[in-house]
Structure 1
Amino acid sequence: MHLRDILKISLDNLRKRRLRTFLTVLGVVIGTASIVTMISLGLGLQQSMLQEVEESGGLKTITVSGAEAGESYFYSGNAGEQEDVEKYVTDSTLAKLKEIEHISSINPQYQMTAVALKGNYEAYIQLYASTKEGLENKNLKLGYGKMPTPGGSRLELVYGNAVLADFLEKGTNKGYWETGEIPNIDLTKDSVFLILDTDNYFKSLEKSQNAETVDEATKVKTVNKQVVKASGVMEGGIEAYSMNSYYVYCDIDALRKVLKKEFQGNVIPGQPTTKSGKAYRDFCYTSAEVVVDDIENVDQVINEIKNMGFNVQTNQDYLDSMKKQFFMIQAALGGIGAVSLFVAAIGIANTMMMSIYERTKEIGVMKVLGCSLKSIRRMFLLEAASIGLFGGVIGCTLSFILSGIINFLVAQGGAAMGLSRDISYIPIWLALAAIFFAVIVGVLAGMLPASRGMKLSPLAAIRGD
């Protein structure tokens, strides 16, 4: 019997028992959709992590840090792994780093908190200053404007798309997350007062609150305010989250000029002091971003920098740690889906076994007419494989629909939890693997019924009811 004839007979048998075939296929659909959807959640989280790594410089970037300098209110997940060091990252440090082989670029970074004022709104923002190349390495996608001009005498700011959420109404201390209303500020057009001396600002507020009468003119004089405008604003809505969404970026040379002019020999916020309490001689950076020419040379460069007495942090460390966690997540989610497919396999075996009992005479006649045992086995295996194939294809289609719904719901309401990216991701290889796996499950489930059909005695089968 030709394979084409066997396939035709198999499909005809499935069509004759449409309801049973439908219910069996439905079990495979549910099992396949469960596995694919569950695994897609793990893959989506991993994809989001990889995008964050790219936003922070990729795998060839090393962050070099020394003794603490600058101010940051963002928590660093690896802070506890860093050793206490006494050396500061200064211009002389950058010069020494340039002597290390395989380093293609070095970009100093400085972070500090500042206060932004606009009308009746106040915001505590995180300033991130770096060189032109350092800012470009952040892969900032601008929806308006351009990157800051390097070395300017005035501060030009690039606002993260979620910075508006930091602006709170004076008096009520309520902002977007409390009221649901975006502050009446257009960062692309409006000038903003920027206060770099936050300690002095807080003292002035305390003084005004405790004084019986407040001289508004006197209070303004005690705080130096920089009038700044946006050079650019990142694309995305206020709820679209990324690693860069809440930062305000500027050129590091421009920030240094403004700080030195404003403080004129006094201690700049976040900068170290001498034992006598005076300003430190050199400007100290929060860290330096080192880009290695090839990923194969990263470990060598790390060792040399550590020998200089500095801490290093790479995205590879973060990536390796997260991969282990995501592997466990995917295994757990895949295991949950596999239970559904195992139940579907039992359904296929049951369907095929019932089919043998109902077609006993048909099998006997086929044997009497000279049909080989191999052909009979192929017929039942093809039926089981067809059920797996149909269920796998429909299940994968359903998975893509469910994935789209999940991502849509996350896009609508997940930004407040930091879930603005797609958390369900189905690559083509996963869909093809799921279909192949469903077919294999069908074939394995049909092995026992096919073996039973081969063992039926032709005469007993013909005489049976």
Structure 2
Amino acid sequence: MRFGDLVRSSLTSLWQRKFRTSLTVMGVVIGTMAVVVMVSLGVGLSKAQLDSIEQYASLRQITVHATSMMEGEPDADVVAMDDNLVAELESLPGVSDVWPVYFADAEVNLRGTVNWMQLMGVPHSMLESLDVEFASGGVPEVGAPLALVAGDKVGEMYFWDPVTGMPLEVDMATEQFFVTFPGGAGPGEPQPGGGDGEDPVTVAPPQKFLVPVAGVLAGEEMEWGQHSGMLYVDMAALVRTLEEAFPGKALPGQPATPSGKPVGAFVYSQLVLMADDVAAAKELTTSLREQGYQIDAAVEWMDQMEQQSALIQAVFGGIGLISLLVAAIGIANTMLMSVYERTREIGIMKVLGAALRDIRNMFLLESACIGFFGGFFGLLLSLAVSAVLNATLGGAMDMGMGASELSVIPAWLALGAVAFSTLIGTVAGLVPAQRAMRLSALGAIRAQ
């Protein structure tokens, strides 16, 4: 028999038993819907977690911290976070950029209130490469005096009224701050004299710097991102300002002699590596850890999240699969009943010369059609259920990080569900098809 004839015969047989076929298909619909919705919940959770990671850090970014090589060994060499290390890391395969970072604590006076802030000094090239939008202003020009590039949540994060304990209303786009750097004595603070009987020496107040805001990064009101609480400054401008604040002395965090004079090369607080892509970031993370560096990498969080998500999807999918297996039993029962009802028809087909494989394929095709139609309509029902879940319960995934979908049905899940239900239907029809093949032609014709 030609394939078209097999299809026509199978569909005709199913149509003649519409009620029983509909009930069997309905079982597959429910089973497919259960599998797809359960797995889609795991996919939605995984997507929400990855979106959350990408909001706070780039998956290509690796941060190298100042630490000892092979930490814990007494004879370990201390890693010098200087330009030599920058050059060494830049030569690694898969590294596109290496940016040194220098942190400086600052005391900020705003409307009579004193607040502590940490300035993040980075190269001007890093400021220009920030993949962000500005709500106002922009990156300061090269060689400009010290100016801030503030995250969208800096105003509410750093500035508080000491009396009420409530955040101050600060318009970062228009404010200018008086900044001093800790390290010296405060205004009029007495210091011990040089020996017995000497009068205390009063140190002059630390120098104040008027620091404007060059730019404010854009952001959503209830969302926190990677740059929301950051205060970026051009590192060259920060170093110039600190040299003015500490003339002839070592800058904060820099190596110094016992008398406080600078010594050795300039060291950085940390280094930020940008990999060529996510795959390169994974390889670099493994390699740097093996070399003894202390690092942070968002791509490691992603691997952990993917493992957890795979486990969640497997558990959810397994729960839904139970319903689909119950539906497979229903398909097998339906096809066995069909074999019993069509025993005489099978005998006549054999007498007329129908090949055994045609008889087998006819029943397999019928069961496959039940699985296919059940999977197709189950997918449509799953899409509807997913839309309802996202519309009603999707807000529970917000968590202040932007709207997330509770249920996500990717293309691979949709196509896989229909293909799998078709396969389940085909497998469920194997036993009835084999029984139909083994029927005696004469005995089948005599059957009433």
Do both share a fold (TM > 0.5)? yes
More displaced 10-residue stretch of structure 1: 32-41 or 313-322: 313-322
| CA displacement, residues 336-367 of structure 1 (integer Å, 9 cap, x when unaligned) | 33223222212222222233334444444444
The 1-side partners of 2:177 and 2:394 are apart by 33
The 2-side partners of 1:126 and 1:258 are apart by 15
Contact kept? 2:55, 2:224, Cα under 8 Å: no
Contact kept? 2:207, 2:245, Cα under 8 Å: no
Aligned to 2:9: 9
The 2-side partners of 1:115 and 1:290 are apart by 29
Matches within 5 A, 1:208-247: 228-229=212-213, 231-235=215-219, 237-247=220-230
Contact kept? 1:363, 1:453, Cα under 8 Å: yes
User: In proportion to residue count, which structure has more helix?
Assistant: 1
The 1-side partners of 2:259 and 2:309 are apart by 48
Aligned to 1:436: 419
Matches within 5 A, 1:325-404: 325-404=308-387
What SS does the aligned partner of 2:221 have? coil
Contact kept? 1:148, 1:158, Cα under 8 Å: no
The 1-side partners of 2:431 and 2:262 are apart by 82
The 1-side partners of 2:420 and 2:112 are apart by 61
Aligned to 2:201: none
Contact kept? 1:66, 1:85, Cα under 8 Å: no
What SS does the aligned partner of 2:101 have? strand
Query: Is 1:89 matched with 2:73?
Result: no
What SS does the aligned partner of 1:231 have? strand
Aligned to 1:286: 269
| CA displacement, residues 46-74 of structure 1 (integer Å, 9 cap, x when unaligned) | 55666646974545x54332149xxxxxx
Aligned to 2:144: 152
More displaced 10-residue stretch of structure 1: 447-456 or 401-410: 401-410
What's the CA shift for 1:443?
A: 0.2
What's the CA shift for 1:292?
A: 5.8
More displaced 10-residue stretch of structure 1: 428-437 or 275-284: 275-284
Matches within 5 A, 1:31-180: 31-44=31-44, 46-47=46-47, 52=53, 56-59=57-60, 62-67=62-67, 86-91=78-83, 93-94=85-86, 104-111=96-103, 127-135=119-127, 139-142=131-134, 146-160=138-152, 166=157, 170=161, 173=165
Q: Which amino acid aligns with 1:392?
A: G
What's the CA shift for 1:439?
A: 0.9
The 1-side partners of 2:158 and 2:436 are apart by 75
What SS does the aligned partner of 2:34 have? helix
The 2-side partners of 1:436 and 1:444 are apart by 12
More displaced 10-residue stretch of structure 1: 372-381 or 418-427: 418-427
What's the CA shift for 1:323?
A: 4.0
What SS does the aligned partner of 1:34 have? helix
Contact kept? 2:62, 2:296, Cα under 8 Å: yes
The 1-side partners of 2:432 and 2:366 are apart by 11
More displaced 10-residue stretch of structure 1: 163-172 or 331-340: 163-172
Structure whose CA Rg is larger: 2
Contact kept? 1:28, 1:392, Cα under 8 Å: yes
The 2-side partners of 1:117 and 1:19 are apart by 80
Contact kept? 2:181, 2:206, Cα under 8 Å: no
Contact kept? 2:281, 2:299, Cα under 8 Å: no
The alpha-carbon distance between structure 1 residues 403 and 195, as it changes in their structure 2 partners (threshold 3 A), is farther
What SS does the aligned partner of 1:153 have? coil
The 1-side partners of 2:124 and 2:105 are apart by 21
Q: Which amino acid aligns with 2:377?
A: I
Contact kept? 2:146, 2:211, Cα under 8 Å: no
Aligned to 2:20: 20
Aligned to 2:195: none
What SS does the aligned partner of 2:213 have? strand
The 1-side partners of 2:260 and 2:337 are apart by 91
The 2-side partners of 1:38 and 1:241 are apart by 29
Q: Give the RMSD, CA atoms, in angstroms.
A: 4.8
Aligned to 1:76: none
The 2-side partners of 1:455 and 1:377 are apart by 10
The alpha-carbon distance between structure 1 residues 380 and 310, as it changes in their structure 2 partners (threshold 3 A), is closer
The 2-side partners of 1:346 and 1:305 are apart by 52
Contact kept? 2:155, 2:169, Cα under 8 Å: no
Q: Which amino acid aligns with 2:11?
A: L
Aligned to 2:200: none
More displaced 10-residue stretch of structure 1: 335-344 or 322-331: 322-331
The alpha-carbon distance between structure 1 residues 297 and 449, as it changes in their structure 2 partners (threshold 3 A), is closer
The 1-side partners of 2:95 and 2:26 are apart by 58
What's the CA shift for 1:11?
A: 1.8
What SS does the aligned partner of 2:237 have? helix
Q: Which amino acid aligns with 1:233?
A: L
Query: Is 1:452 matched with 2:435?
Result: yes
Q: Percent identity?
A: 33
What SS does the aligned partner of 1:416 have? coil
Q: Which amino acid aligns with 1:166?
A: M
TM-score (norm 2): 0.72
What's the CA shift for 1:445?
A: 0.9
What SS does the aligned partner of 1:238 have? coil
The alpha-carbon distance between structure 1 residues 258 and 427, as it changes in their structure 2 partners (threshold 3 A), is farther
Q: Which amino acid aligns with 2:122?
A: S
TM-score (norm 1): 0.69
What's the CA shift for 1:126?
A: 6.4
The alpha-carbon distance between structure 1 residues 145 and 382, as it changes in their structure 2 partners (threshold 3 A), is farther
Unaligned 5+ residue runs, structure 1? 69-79, 176-182, 205-220
More displaced 10-residue stretch of structure 1: 341-350 or 257-266: 257-266
Contact kept? 1:100, 1:301, Cα under 8 Å: no
